[in-house]
Amino acid sequence: MDFTLEAFMTFKTTIIATCLLAAAPSSMAANGPNAHLSPSLKGLQAKNFVLPDNATLVKRFALGHSGMETQRFQQHFQNAIVFGGEISLITAASGDVVTVIGRRYDHLLSSNSVKLKAEAAKGIVMMKIGGHGRWTTNLFINPSNGLFFYIVENQRADSRWHYWIDAETGEVLNAYDGLTTGSGTGVHGDSKDLSGLTTFNRGNFEMVSANGRLSTYDAGGRSRLPGALATDSDDQWVEPGRTSPGQAAMVDAHFFANVTDSYFLSVLQFNWLSHYSQGMVSTAHVKRNYNNAYWNGYQMAYGDGDGITFINLSGDLDVVGHELSHGLTDATSDLIYQNESGALNEAFSDIMGTNIEFYYGSGNWTIGEDITPNSNGIRNMADPGEDGDPSHYNERYTGTGDNGGVHINSGIINHWYYLLVNGGQNADGQFASGSDVAGIGLDAATQIVYSGFTSLPPNADFCLARAATDAVAGTYSANVLDAWDEVGVTETLCSGSGGGSGGTGGDIAISNVSSRTIKGVKFQISWDTDVASSTEVTFSCCGTYVKNEQVTSHSYNFNGSKGVTYEYYVTSKVYDSAGNVASSATAGPFVHQN
């Protein structure tokens, strides 16, 4: 079975913004009952915004040096977390709300019951991947279809599996590995000043910073983390060798972690220790000839490379900054590492890794160029096509590999950021608009991306990122939107019209609409259509529920309230190959007495 996010979440979304009404394509993020996205509520609209009663504060953090702050609120329904139901309030130094970003769900109906306990859901996953590692299990409700489900996360040294388990049936709805891959002498023979970055303990110097913020380990070619704490007898870390016990990889991992920590603190006002009490933990020499580096939710791990495709992966500042920026994302937006939200996650790390290189004085627009001896890096933000990645939404990857294209499609967002900073047109000539984007420079672009991306809900898509960055852009709004247009994430795309040719779906005939009580407060609405089409039920009280599976016999189950009369409409739609609505029909209103 192919466990993809699209398989579980194929529904529409509505974006409500000051200057546009935008609905994302069908494979993007959630639309649910009375789902409101308010990314560009500004001024009095933002100041007067009222949080729903079911929202609780879950995170707060500073935004740079401006005195602004993000406060993230999570909505709940009964005992469940509303999936994607996070609202971020950005406040000024005065405490006034200046921007609102997120989705609000005012009325929810459940379509199944919670029959499994959390331990039972965990047990289902343990049967598939074994029992060791750190476990967390949380109950959610999907506002698109009213489905209660558990997200079971297992965190190990080299994996971060997430399983979505139907809370009634125990069916596995989705599964993916969220592991985010990607004086001494460094990997390139350059001397690095480790003053204050090591401490003397019991006759040896250790790679533990004097301020306690950093520690670095040697895995010795094994996968067990964190490994052995890096030590040296005279504080001259010059032992040669690509593999353990060579010290160059540990010197760079430790030194570049300090550069990243300094950037987070001084530029973003993000204090790592406020979110990770263990500090920045790094391990070099992970596995043998391992061509990767990753953040596992707790610490960094760097392979030595095979010496051909890659050398020690800790030897490139933008790689170290990239991976540690996944930790920043985990602590703020927690973007799901799959499909478009995963591509946003990857792109944010590329963006921050690049920013950190510029901060250190060695900036460029390629990723991994210092650790790929036979190529110019693994990604190029100025020209994603150089490495086979798309620079325009029309060429996005839509398959299930690469967790739904998290690395591949990051090229679209990377190129957006490059254009926002530097200006110009799409590097792929077939998509160049003929009109230059006016660049705004690195400093302004950094603050827009940091404020916008850290305020996104976990299941954000590209259209929501467009709206969120516009919301925080201030006087640079036109520049931000022009850059999005240049990479194909346009107002037309995000309004749902998509620019398609209309398809050949023809008219849809709806017949045999009926409702029936199944048991207790559970009821079913059903109807037939003459052509295969989607299933949508819209309640006057409670919003729209959608299934995008194309069928001719339609039904939807709901858990309502006893004695309540529900007025509803039914809609079916046919989509063309581009995902645009080719034809649709709506019938109603109808009434169900529960």
pLDDT of residue 500: 31
Rounded-to-integer distance, Cα 349 and Cα 325, Å: 5
User: Could you identify the residue written with the tokens 């331990």?
Assistant: 119
What does pTM read for this prediction? 0.74
pLDDT of residue 345: 96
Which of 287, 309, 331 represents a domain boundary (last residue)?
A: 331
Per mean pLDDT, which range of 207-216, 227-236, 342-351, 562-571 is the poorest? 562-571
Which of 303, 331, 359 represents a domain boundary (last residue)?
A: 331
Per-residue pLDDT tens for 112-144?
999 999 999 999 999 999 988 999 999 999 988
Residue 223 lies in a domain: yes
Residue 255 lies in a domain: yes
Per mean pLDDT, which range of 94-103, 130-139, 201-210 is the poorest? 94-103
Residue 489 lies in a domain: no
Catalytic residue among 326, 407, 415, 554: 407
Percent of the chain with pLDDT over 70: 88
Q: What CATH number does residue 258 fall under? A: 3.10.170.10
Which of 309, 331, 353 represents a domain boundary (last residue)?
A: 331
> CB within 8 A of 44, min separation 6: which ones?
none
Catalytic residue among 6, 86, 153, 323: 323
Residue 11 lies in a domain: no
Residue 247 lies in a domain: yes
Both tokens assigned to 445: 């672009």
pLDDT of residue 185: 55
Residue-averaged pLDDT of the chain:
85
Specify the amino acid at residue 334. Answer: D
Residue 554 lies in a domain: yes
Q: How many structural domains is the chain composed of?
A: 2
Q: Using CA atoms in the order 236, 240, 241, 247, what is the torsion angle rounded to 10 degrees?
A: 0
pLDDT of residue 186: 52
User: Could you identify the residue written with the tokens 């957006």?
Assistant: 416
**pLDDT band at residue 241 using 50, 70 and 90 as cut-offs:** confident
Backbone φ and ψ of 359, nearest 5°? -60, -40
**pLDDT band at residue 542 using 50, 70 and 90 as cut-offs:** confident
> CB within 8 A of 375, min separation 6: which ones?
none
Residue 514 lies in a domain: yes
pLDDT of residue 465: 94
Residue 21 lies in a domain: no
Per-residue pLDDT tens for 33-53?
445 444 457 677 777 788 888
Mean pLDDT of 187-205: 83
Backbone φ and ψ of 103, nearest 5°? -115, 135
Domain that holds residue 514: 510-593
Q: What CATH number does residue 522 fall under? A: 2.60.40.10
Per-residue pLDDT tens for 555-581?
988 888 888 888 898 988 887 766 667
CB 376 within 8 A of CB 364: no
Per-residue pLDDT tens for 141-185?
998 889 999 999 999 888 899 999 999 999 999 999 988 765 555
Rounded-to-integer distance, Cα 457 and Cα 88, Å: 8
Per-residue pLDDT tens for 359-384?
999 899 999 999 998 888 899 999 99
Rounded-to-integer distance, Cα 234 and Cα 12, Å: 62
Question: Which of 456, 387, 443 is closest to 415 using CA atoms?
Answer: 387
Among this protein's residues, is 592 annotated catalytic? Answer: no
Q: Nearest 5 degrees, angle CA 216-CA 222-CA 226?
A: 30
pLDDT of residue 15: 23
Among this protein's residues, is 554 annotated catalytic? Answer: no
